[in-house]
Amino acid sequence: MLTSKQRNYLRKLAVSENPIIYIGKSGIDREITNQAHKAIVARELIKGKVQQNAPVDARTAAECLAADLKADVVNVMGNTFVLFKRNPQHIRIELPTKKK
């Protein structure tokens, strides 16, 4: 579970990223899920876009993919969504933590 500070940090990182996952008229199928899994393992933070002719909206697509990948939904804005999942074997993104 991400804190609001961590979610805000990840949102800032995602601004400069290009969408990797495109969901079209076939919706979320096995191929999209496999592609998202490979991308999230390699990058930890992925951005996706839902095309206009897709049978699902961005919020539904993000929640469905997040459930399949066991990832966190960082942001959904318009037709774009951002997912994050920590890769314990190769940490790429250091999340901010509470200072004590």
Q: Print pLDDT tens along the chain (100 aa).
A: 899 999 999 999 999 999 999 999 999 999 999 999 999 999 999 999 999 999 999 999 999 999 999 999 999 999 999 999 998 888 899 998 876 5
CA proximity to 46, closest of 17, 76, 88: 17
Structural domains in the chain, sorted by start: 4-84 (3.30.110.60)
CA distances from 22 to 5, 7, 19, 41, 60 (A): 28, 22, 7, 17, 14
Q: Residue 38 belongs to what H/E stretch?
A: helix 30-43
